[in-house]
Amino acid sequence: MIELHQVAAAVYLAAGIGALLAIVLSAPRMGRGAVWGLGLGATFQLLAIALGHGEMPLDNLAGALAIMSWMSVVFLLILMWRLRLPGLAAVVGPVAFLTVFIASLHAPEGAVVAERAGGPWPHAHVLLASAGLALLGLAGVAGLFYILEFRRIKAKRPLVAGIRLPSLEALDRVNMVALSIGFPLLSLGLVTGIFWLQEVQGRLWSGSHHETWTAIAWAVYAALVTARFAGHQGARQAAASAVGGFAFLIFAVVGVGVLT
């Protein structure tokens, strides 16, 4: 069902463009339509995952990117149900489009019907790690928006083209919630990855570049979580940490594999 993934990607792109136009034109109805568009795209993608299981296996990078983008959209919709977050859909929509579209282009040729080695651990690892990455990604986006809005308010600059970002309080709450849930999920993803390696290779650690850098990224996030919740870190510092932490995490999980 690669075609359904591409349909979902197109809907995500349309929703992102609609969300951006809603902000620029100050059109609340268009903004609500963009949110519904994200939900429709997530529905198409869920159908694609359910009906095309095997065409884009989860233990393939393409499948992992696709499931991560779907989780990002779902988590954002849940947060938007509770908080006013104008502007985030304009970012998440195009990002979801890019990840799903690129993933569909790089999916393995033909259906994959063979059982993956490692029993249930590969899917558990990818699902948990992808959920953690999705939430930490949302924390990073909220952190970036927080920094931009904080600087605008501090400099007493007017809104650019009428574009209004979410309030600092809402962005900080997104950061806190996403970090508090995303880090435990990422940790569980690492644990299930260790079990997967034990099942396949008979050892808990192989010393690969991916494992080493991912462990370093986990340690970085452990320090950030400690600073945020035990060290009483300020909201602005937490926002900057969320941006830097996610950038390093993406480098560790994806960038290192590409470079090596």
Q: Which stretch of DSSP H or E encloses residue 190?
A: helix 168-201
Q: How many CB atoms lie within 10 A of CB 73?
A: 26
Q: What is the pLDDT of residues 3-29, one digit of tens each?
A: 888 899 999 999 999 988 887 777 778
3-state secondary structure 20-45: HHHHHCCCHHHHHHHHHHHHHHHHHH
Q: What is the pLDDT of residues 146-200, one digit of tens each?
A: 998 899 888 887 765 556 678 899 999 999 999 999 999 999 999 998 888 888 8
Residue with the bigger pLDDT between 256 and 180: it is 180
CA-CA distance, 150 to 152, in Å (whole number)?
Answer: 5
Average pLDDT, integer, range 35-54: 85
Average pLDDT, integer, range 117-123: 71
Position 257 pLDDT exceeds 70: no
